[in-house]
Structure 1
Protein backbone atom coordinates (compact mmCIF):
# COMPACT_ATOMS: atom_id res chain seq x y z
CA UNK A 1 0.00 0.00 0.00
CA UNK A 2 1.37 3.43 -0.91
CA UNK A 3 2.11 5.97 1.81
CA UNK A 4 -0.73 8.28 0.78
CA UNK A 5 -3.22 5.39 0.94
CA UNK A 6 -1.87 4.36 4.37
CA UNK A 7 -2.35 7.93 5.54
CA UNK A 8 -5.95 7.98 4.26
CA UNK A 9 -6.74 4.68 6.01
CA UNK A 10 -5.15 5.95 9.23
CA UNK A 11 -7.10 9.20 9.01
CA UNK A 12 -10.37 7.30 8.43
CA UNK A 13 -9.65 5.09 11.45
CA UNK A 14 -8.87 8.11 13.64
CA UNK A 15 -12.03 9.81 12.39
CA UNK A 16 -14.10 6.74 13.25
CA UNK A 17 -12.49 6.39 16.68
CA UNK A 18 -12.41 10.01 17.83
CA UNK A 19 -14.26 12.28 15.43
CA UNK A 20 -12.86 15.04 13.27
CA UNK A 21 -10.90 16.62 16.10
CA UNK A 22 -8.83 13.40 16.40
CA UNK A 23 -7.55 13.82 12.83
CA UNK A 24 -4.37 15.86 12.92
CA UNK A 25 -1.57 15.39 10.43
CA UNK A 26 0.80 14.47 13.25
CA UNK A 27 -1.61 11.87 14.69
CA UNK A 28 -2.25 10.44 11.22
CA UNK A 29 1.48 10.09 10.57
CA UNK A 30 1.92 8.29 13.87
CA UNK A 31 -1.08 6.00 13.25
CA UNK A 32 0.20 5.16 9.76
CA UNK A 33 3.64 4.31 11.13
CA UNK A 34 5.46 7.05 9.23
CA UNK A 35 7.28 10.18 10.34
CA UNK A 36 5.23 13.08 11.64
CA UNK A 37 6.32 15.06 8.57
CA UNK A 38 5.24 12.43 6.00
CA UNK A 39 1.59 13.58 5.79
CA UNK A 40 2.76 17.07 4.79
CA UNK A 41 4.49 15.57 1.75
CA UNK A 42 1.22 14.06 0.52
CA UNK A 43 -1.46 16.51 1.68
CA UNK A 44 -1.34 20.30 1.73
CA UNK A 45 -3.25 20.43 5.01
CA UNK A 46 -5.74 18.64 7.24
CA UNK A 47 -8.66 19.68 5.00
CA UNK A 48 -6.99 18.06 1.99
CA UNK A 49 -6.50 14.85 3.97
CA UNK A 50 -10.14 14.84 5.11
CA UNK A 51 -11.20 15.45 1.51
CA UNK A 52 -9.20 12.38 0.50
CA UNK A 53 -10.95 10.35 3.23
CA UNK A 54 -14.31 11.61 1.97
CA UNK A 55 -13.41 10.75 -1.64
CA UNK A 56 -12.48 7.18 -0.73
CA UNK A 57 -15.57 6.84 1.47
CA UNK A 58 -17.89 8.05 -1.30
CA UNK A 59 -16.17 5.63 -3.66
CA UNK A 60 -16.80 2.76 -1.22
CA UNK A 61 -20.47 3.75 -0.87
CA UNK A 62 -20.84 4.01 -4.66
CA UNK A 63 -19.38 0.53 -5.04
CA UNK A 64 -21.82 -0.90 -2.48
CA UNK A 65 -24.69 0.91 -4.20
CA UNK A 66 -23.63 -0.42 -7.61
CA UNK A 67 -23.76 -3.95 -6.20
CA UNK A 68 -27.30 -3.32 -4.93
CA UNK A 69 -28.33 -1.87 -8.31
CA UNK A 70 -26.99 -4.95 -10.07
CA UNK A 71 -28.78 -7.37 -7.76
CA UNK A 72 -31.90 -9.32 -8.82
CA UNK A 73 -34.08 -7.50 -6.26
CA UNK A 74 -37.15 -5.53 -7.25
CA UNK A 75 -36.61 -1.78 -7.68
CA UNK A 76 -38.35 -1.02 -4.36
CA UNK A 77 -36.24 -3.66 -2.58
CA UNK A 78 -33.13 -2.02 -4.06
CA UNK A 79 -34.24 1.39 -2.82
CA UNK A 80 -34.90 -0.01 0.64
CA UNK A 81 -31.50 -1.75 0.63
CA UNK A 82 -29.74 1.50 -0.24
CA UNK A 83 -31.60 3.34 2.49
CA UNK A 84 -30.54 0.56 4.89
CA UNK A 85 -26.96 1.02 3.66
CA UNK A 86 -27.09 4.71 4.63
CA UNK A 87 -28.68 3.92 7.99
CA UNK A 88 -26.04 1.30 8.79
CA UNK A 89 -23.19 3.51 7.58
CA UNK A 90 -24.35 6.43 9.71
CA UNK A 91 -24.43 4.21 12.79
CA UNK A 92 -21.18 2.34 12.14
CA UNK A 93 -19.19 5.42 11.05
CA UNK A 94 -20.97 8.46 12.53
CA UNK A 95 -18.05 10.88 12.20
CA UNK A 96 -17.32 9.78 8.65
CA UNK A 97 -21.01 10.04 7.80
CA UNK A 98 -21.04 13.64 9.11
CA UNK A 99 -17.92 14.36 7.04
CA UNK A 100 -19.66 13.10 3.90
CA UNK A 101 -23.13 14.55 4.37
CA UNK A 102 -23.01 17.34 6.96
CA UNK A 103 -19.69 19.09 6.38
CA UNK A 104 -19.75 22.40 4.46
CA UNK A 105 -16.17 21.95 3.23
CA UNK A 106 -17.04 18.55 1.77
CA UNK A 107 -20.17 19.98 0.13
CA UNK A 108 -18.18 22.84 -1.43
CA UNK A 109 -15.31 20.68 -2.67
CA UNK A 110 -14.71 20.11 -6.32
CA UNK A 111 -12.47 17.75 -8.21
CA UNK A 112 -12.44 14.03 -7.50
CA UNK A 113 -14.43 14.45 -4.28
CA UNK A 114 -17.32 16.10 -6.13
CA UNK A 115 -17.18 13.45 -8.85
CA UNK A 116 -17.41 10.62 -6.30
CA UNK A 117 -20.21 12.36 -4.34
CA UNK A 118 -22.23 12.83 -7.53
CA UNK A 119 -21.57 9.21 -8.55
CA UNK A 120 -23.04 8.10 -5.22
CA UNK A 121 -26.12 10.26 -5.75
CA UNK A 122 -26.47 9.04 -9.34
CA UNK A 123 -26.78 5.45 -8.12
CA UNK A 124 -29.53 6.58 -5.77
CA UNK A 125 -31.30 8.56 -8.50
CA UNK A 126 -31.10 5.60 -10.89
CA UNK A 127 -32.80 3.32 -8.40
CA UNK A 128 -35.51 5.90 -7.76
CA UNK A 129 -35.99 6.06 -11.54
CA UNK A 130 -36.24 2.25 -11.70
CA UNK A 131 -38.96 2.42 -9.02
CA UNK A 132 -40.80 5.04 -11.07
CA UNK A 133 -40.58 2.96 -14.23
CA UNK A 134 -41.96 -0.04 -12.33
CA UNK A 135 -44.87 2.09 -11.11
CA UNK A 136 -43.72 2.07 -7.49
CA UNK A 137 -43.09 5.81 -7.16
CA UNK A 138 -44.90 8.82 -8.62
CA UNK A 139 -44.13 10.22 -12.03
CA UNK A 140 -42.01 13.28 -11.22
CA UNK A 141 -38.54 14.37 -12.28
CA UNK A 142 -36.35 11.56 -10.92
CA UNK A 143 -33.65 13.99 -9.73
CA UNK A 144 -36.19 15.92 -7.67
CA UNK A 145 -37.86 12.85 -6.20
CA UNK A 146 -34.49 11.24 -5.42
CA UNK A 147 -33.32 14.45 -3.74
CA UNK A 148 -36.47 14.60 -1.60
CA UNK A 149 -36.12 10.99 -0.46
CA UNK A 150 -32.36 11.42 0.05
CA UNK A 151 -32.85 14.63 2.07
CA UNK A 152 -35.56 13.04 4.21
CA UNK A 153 -33.35 10.05 5.03
CA UNK A 154 -30.39 12.26 5.89
CA UNK A 155 -32.57 14.60 7.93
CA UNK A 156 -33.91 11.68 9.94
CA UNK A 157 -30.39 10.32 10.43
CA UNK A 158 -29.25 13.74 11.68
CA UNK A 159 -32.19 13.89 14.10
CA UNK A 160 -31.33 10.38 15.30
CA UNK A 161 -27.63 11.18 15.76
CA UNK A 162 -28.58 14.22 17.85
CA UNK A 163 -30.73 12.02 20.09
CA UNK A 164 -33.94 13.72 18.99
CA UNK A 165 -35.75 10.81 17.35
CA UNK A 166 -38.51 10.13 19.87
CA UNK A 167 -41.50 7.78 19.51
CA UNK A 168 -43.67 10.32 21.32
CA UNK A 169 -43.08 12.64 18.37
CA UNK A 170 -44.29 9.92 16.01
CA UNK A 171 -40.85 8.87 14.78
CA UNK A 172 -39.94 5.47 16.18
CA UNK A 173 -36.96 4.80 13.90
CA UNK A 174 -35.34 6.03 10.72
CA UNK A 175 -36.16 2.77 8.92
CA UNK A 176 -39.83 2.76 9.97
CA UNK A 177 -40.18 6.44 9.04
CA UNK A 178 -38.66 5.87 5.61
CA UNK A 179 -40.97 2.89 5.05
CA UNK A 180 -43.95 5.16 5.82
CA UNK A 181 -42.62 7.79 3.40
CA UNK A 182 -42.17 5.25 0.61
CA UNK A 183 -45.66 3.85 1.25
CA UNK A 184 -47.09 7.37 1.04
CA UNK A 185 -45.27 7.94 -2.23
CA UNK A 186 -46.48 4.70 -3.77
CA UNK A 187 -49.24 5.53 -6.25
CA UNK A 188 -52.65 4.27 -5.18
CA UNK A 189 -53.92 1.34 -7.23
CA UNK A 190 -57.42 1.79 -8.58
Structure 2
Protein backbone atom coordinates (compact mmCIF):
# COMPACT_ATOMS: atom_id res chain seq x y z
CA UNK A 1 0.00 0.00 0.00
CA UNK A 2 2.83 2.36 0.84
CA UNK A 3 4.55 1.61 -2.46
CA UNK A 4 1.40 2.19 -4.50
CA UNK A 5 -0.31 5.07 -2.73
CA UNK A 6 2.33 6.69 -0.58
CA UNK A 7 2.16 7.26 3.13
CA UNK A 8 -1.32 8.80 2.96
CA UNK A 9 -2.74 5.50 1.66
CA UNK A 10 -1.66 3.63 4.78
CA UNK A 11 -4.28 3.64 7.53
CA UNK A 12 -5.02 0.88 9.98
CA UNK A 13 -8.52 0.55 8.52
CA UNK A 14 -7.14 0.29 4.95
CA UNK A 15 -4.60 -2.30 6.04
CA UNK A 16 -7.35 -4.35 7.71
CA UNK A 17 -9.42 -4.18 4.55
CA UNK A 18 -6.42 -5.12 2.38
CA UNK A 19 -5.67 -8.27 4.37
CA UNK A 20 -9.32 -9.18 4.95
CA UNK A 21 -9.65 -8.78 8.71
CA UNK A 22 -11.92 -6.65 10.87
CA UNK A 23 -11.05 -2.96 11.09
CA UNK A 24 -10.11 -3.40 14.78
CA UNK A 25 -7.65 -6.28 14.26
CA UNK A 26 -4.59 -4.11 13.39
CA UNK A 27 -4.99 -2.34 16.74
CA UNK A 28 -4.05 -5.60 18.44
CA UNK A 29 -0.61 -5.32 16.84
CA UNK A 30 -0.08 -1.55 16.42
CA UNK A 31 -1.17 1.23 18.73
CA UNK A 32 -1.68 3.63 15.84
CA UNK A 33 -0.75 4.39 12.24
CA UNK A 34 2.66 5.77 13.29
CA UNK A 35 3.47 2.45 14.98
CA UNK A 36 2.47 0.59 11.81
CA UNK A 37 4.74 2.80 9.69
CA UNK A 38 7.55 2.35 12.21
CA UNK A 39 7.10 -1.41 11.85
CA UNK A 40 7.51 -1.10 8.08
CA UNK A 41 10.63 1.02 8.59
CA UNK A 42 12.10 -1.50 11.06
CA UNK A 43 11.56 -4.34 8.60
CA UNK A 44 13.21 -2.44 5.77
CA UNK A 45 16.16 -1.28 7.88
CA UNK A 46 16.69 -4.89 9.00
CA UNK A 47 16.67 -6.01 5.35
CA UNK A 48 19.39 -3.44 4.59
CA UNK A 49 21.51 -4.85 7.42
CA UNK A 50 21.17 -8.38 6.08
CA UNK A 51 22.08 -7.20 2.57
CA UNK A 52 25.10 -5.24 3.82
CA UNK A 53 26.30 -8.18 5.90
CA UNK A 54 26.03 -10.43 2.82
CA UNK A 55 27.96 -7.88 0.78
CA UNK A 56 30.60 -7.81 3.52
CA UNK A 57 31.00 -11.59 3.28
CA UNK A 58 31.41 -11.52 -0.50
CA UNK A 59 34.73 -11.79 -2.31
CA UNK A 60 34.47 -8.28 -3.80
CA UNK A 61 37.21 -5.75 -3.19
CA UNK A 62 36.66 -3.47 -0.22
CA UNK A 63 35.66 -0.49 -2.36
CA UNK A 64 33.39 -2.65 -4.51
CA UNK A 65 31.59 -3.68 -1.32
CA UNK A 66 30.88 -0.03 -0.54
CA UNK A 67 29.71 0.50 -4.12
CA UNK A 68 27.43 -2.55 -3.89
CA UNK A 69 25.88 -1.13 -0.72
CA UNK A 70 25.35 2.21 -2.45
CA UNK A 71 23.67 0.37 -5.34
CA UNK A 72 21.38 -1.28 -2.79
CA UNK A 73 20.34 2.11 -1.40
CA UNK A 74 19.88 3.59 -4.88
CA UNK A 75 17.82 0.65 -6.12
CA UNK A 76 15.63 0.80 -3.02
CA UNK A 77 15.10 4.55 -3.41
CA UNK A 78 14.18 4.10 -7.05
CA UNK A 79 11.96 1.03 -6.59
CA UNK A 80 10.24 2.08 -3.37
CA UNK A 81 10.20 5.91 -3.25
CA UNK A 82 7.52 6.17 -0.56
CA UNK A 83 9.28 3.68 1.72
CA UNK A 84 12.59 5.39 1.00
CA UNK A 85 11.07 8.73 2.14
CA UNK A 86 9.67 6.98 5.20
CA UNK A 87 13.09 5.64 6.21
CA UNK A 88 15.28 8.58 5.27
CA UNK A 89 13.05 11.63 5.04
CA UNK A 90 10.30 11.35 7.65
CA UNK A 91 11.17 13.39 10.76
CA UNK A 92 8.57 11.55 12.86
CA UNK A 93 10.25 8.23 12.08
CA UNK A 94 13.69 9.73 12.74
CA UNK A 95 12.77 10.85 16.26
CA UNK A 96 10.77 7.76 17.18
CA UNK A 97 13.62 6.09 19.08
CA UNK A 98 13.28 2.68 20.71
CA UNK A 99 13.50 -0.46 18.61
CA UNK A 100 13.30 1.47 15.36
CA UNK A 101 16.35 3.56 16.25
CA UNK A 102 18.23 0.43 17.31
CA UNK A 103 17.50 -1.28 13.99
CA UNK A 104 18.40 1.87 12.03
CA UNK A 105 21.70 2.15 13.92
CA UNK A 106 22.43 -1.52 13.20
CA UNK A 107 21.97 -0.74 9.51
CA UNK A 108 24.30 2.23 9.80
CA UNK A 109 26.86 0.04 11.60
CA UNK A 110 26.64 -2.61 8.85
CA UNK A 111 27.31 0.04 6.23
CA UNK A 112 30.07 1.55 8.38
CA UNK A 113 31.83 -1.82 8.54
CA UNK A 114 32.02 -1.79 4.73
CA UNK A 115 33.42 1.74 4.83
CA UNK A 116 35.94 0.69 7.49
CA UNK A 117 37.08 -2.14 5.24
CA UNK A 118 37.62 0.30 2.37
CA UNK A 119 39.55 2.58 4.71
CA UNK A 120 41.75 -0.29 5.91
CA UNK A 121 42.45 -1.24 2.30
CA UNK A 122 43.51 2.34 1.51
CA UNK A 123 40.56 3.19 -0.73
CA UNK A 124 39.17 5.84 1.62
CA UNK A 125 40.89 8.30 3.97
CA UNK A 126 41.74 7.22 7.49
CA UNK A 127 39.38 9.63 9.27
CA UNK A 128 36.90 8.54 11.91
CA UNK A 129 34.82 5.79 10.29
CA UNK A 130 31.47 7.18 11.50
CA UNK A 131 32.35 10.55 9.96
CA UNK A 132 33.38 8.99 6.64
CA UNK A 133 30.28 6.78 6.65
CA UNK A 134 28.04 9.77 7.32
CA UNK A 135 29.64 11.75 4.51
CA UNK A 136 29.07 8.95 2.00
CA UNK A 137 25.58 8.27 3.38
CA UNK A 138 24.56 11.94 3.21
CA UNK A 139 25.95 12.34 -0.31
CA UNK A 140 23.98 9.39 -1.66
CA UNK A 141 20.77 10.34 0.10
CA UNK A 142 21.12 13.93 -1.07
CA UNK A 143 21.60 12.74 -4.64
CA UNK A 144 18.56 10.47 -4.39
CA UNK A 145 16.52 13.34 -2.99
CA UNK A 146 17.61 15.62 -5.84
CA UNK A 147 16.62 12.98 -8.38
CA UNK A 148 13.28 12.31 -6.69
CA UNK A 149 12.52 16.03 -6.71
CA UNK A 150 13.42 16.38 -10.38
CA UNK A 151 16.35 18.64 -9.57
CA UNK A 152 19.16 16.44 -10.89
CA UNK A 153 19.94 17.93 -14.29
CA UNK A 154 22.97 17.60 -16.52
CA UNK A 155 23.19 21.37 -16.98
CA UNK A 156 23.82 21.61 -13.22
CA UNK A 157 26.73 19.18 -13.55
CA UNK A 158 24.90 16.12 -12.30
CA UNK A 159 25.46 12.89 -14.12
CA UNK A 160 23.64 10.06 -12.39
CA UNK A 161 23.05 9.14 -8.76
CA UNK A 162 25.46 6.22 -8.68
CA UNK A 163 28.01 7.78 -11.02
CA UNK A 164 28.05 10.86 -8.79
CA UNK A 165 28.34 8.78 -5.61
CA UNK A 166 31.15 6.72 -7.13
CA UNK A 167 32.90 9.92 -8.24
CA UNK A 168 32.87 11.07 -4.62
CA UNK A 169 34.50 7.78 -3.60
CA UNK A 170 37.19 8.32 -6.24
CA UNK A 171 37.76 11.89 -5.04
CA UNK A 172 38.00 10.72 -1.44
CA UNK A 173 40.66 8.17 -2.31
CA UNK A 174 43.84 9.23 -0.55
CA UNK A 175 45.94 11.57 -2.72
CA UNK A 176 49.11 9.49 -2.52
CA UNK A 177 47.25 6.55 -4.00
CA UNK A 178 45.82 8.68 -6.84
CA UNK A 179 49.27 10.06 -7.61
CA UNK A 180 50.88 6.62 -7.73
CA UNK A 181 48.01 5.31 -9.87
CA UNK A 182 48.54 8.15 -12.38
CA UNK A 183 52.27 7.36 -12.54
CA UNK A 184 51.64 3.76 -13.58
Cα-to-partner distance string for 1:88-144 (whole Å, 9 max, x where unaligned): 000111000000000111111112111110011001111111011000001100000
5 Å-filtered alignment, 1:124-135, equals: 124-135=111-122
Is 1:104 the equivalent of 2:91? yes
Q: TM-score by structure 2 length?
A: 0.94
Separation in structure 1 between the aligned mates of residue 45 and residue 132 of structure 2, nearest angstrom? 21
Separation in structure 2 between the aligned mates of residue 70 and residue 97 of structure 1, nearest angstrom? 25
Separation in structure 1 between the aligned mates of residue 59 and residue 118 of structure 2, nearest angstrom? 14
Is 1:32 the equivalent of 2:19? yes
- Residue segments in structure 2 that go unaligned for 5+ positions in a row: none
Separation in structure 1 between the aligned mates of residue 54 and residue 40 of structure 2, nearest angstrom? 21
Cα-to-partner distance string for 1:44-64 (whole Å, 9 max, x where unaligned): 110011011111111111111
Q: Alignment partner for residue 166 of structure 1, among 153, 157, 160? A: 153
Separation in structure 1 between the aligned mates of residue 16 and residue 70 of structure 2, nearest angstrom? 35
Is 1:154 the equivalent of 2:141? yes
Separation in structure 2 between the aligned mates of residue 77 and residue 143 of structure 1, nearest angstrom? 19
Separation in structure 2 between the aligned mates of residue 16 and residue 166 of structure 1, nearest angstrom? 25
Residue 181 of structure 1 corresponds to which residue in structure 2?
168
Residue 6 of structure 1 corresponds to which residue in structure 2?
none
Residue 32 of structure 2 corresponds to which residue in structure 1?
45
TM superposition outliers: structure 1 runs of 4+ over 2 Å:
none
Separation in structure 2 between the aligned mates of residue 107 and residue 70 of structure 1, nearest angstrom? 29
> What is the RMSD computed on CA atoms of the aligned residues?
0.8
Residue 8 of structure 2 corresponds to which residue in structure 1?
21
Is 1:57 the equivalent of 2:61? no
Separation in structure 2 between the aligned mates of residue 98 and residue 176 of structure 1, nearest angstrom? 21
- Residue segments in structure 1 that go unaligned for 5+ positions in a row: 1-13
- Report how many aligned residue pairs link the two structures: 177
